Amino acid sequence: GQNIDQPTEMTATEGAIVQINCTYQTSGFNGLFWYQQHAGEAPTFLSYNVLDGLEEKGRFSSFLSRSKGYSYLLLKELQMKDSASYLCAVMDSNYQLIWGAGTKLIIKP
């Protein structure tokens, strides 16, 4: 079956760095997405990786290793507004998104 694993919850301090990991097993691979979802709101797109390596976008970076079925989202200079759930999703061979359960990130002052 298809499976996406990510930690349920993480806590970090304002101004620090946090890395949220995601491992996946899917039938085919057409890219990995990270979405941010604030409580009570819809998910919003953060990043997309289809080739191995690191993609940097401001304070957020996303890394992919296809051979390991592994990705991480790196958040730098954490701000209180970064408190949210972070969803990892993989697009399979049918171009369908398979979603992880999300990682709830709690930022403390």
Residues in the chain: 109
d(CA 31, CA 22): 13
| By CB under 8 A, residue 29 contacts other proteins | no
Per-residue tokens: 41: 């709101």
State in angstroms the smallest separation of the CB of 94 from other proteins: 10
Stretch of 10-18, 29-37, 53-61, 68-76 contacting other proteins, by CB under 8 A = 29-37
The residue (of 17 and 101) whose beta carbon lies closer to other proteins is: 101
DSSP string, 45-95: EEEEE-SSEEEEETTEEEEEETTTTEEEEEE-S--GGG-EEEEEEEE-TTS
Residue choice 12, 24, 75, 102 for contact with other proteins (CB under 8 A) = 102
Q: How far apart are CA 31 and CA 27, in angstroms?
A: 12
For other proteins (CB under 8 A), the number of binding residues is 20
Residue 69 sits in the site that holds other proteins (CB under 8 A) = no
Binding site for other proteins (CB under 8 A): 30-31, 33, 40-45, 48, 50, 87, 91, 95-97, 99-102
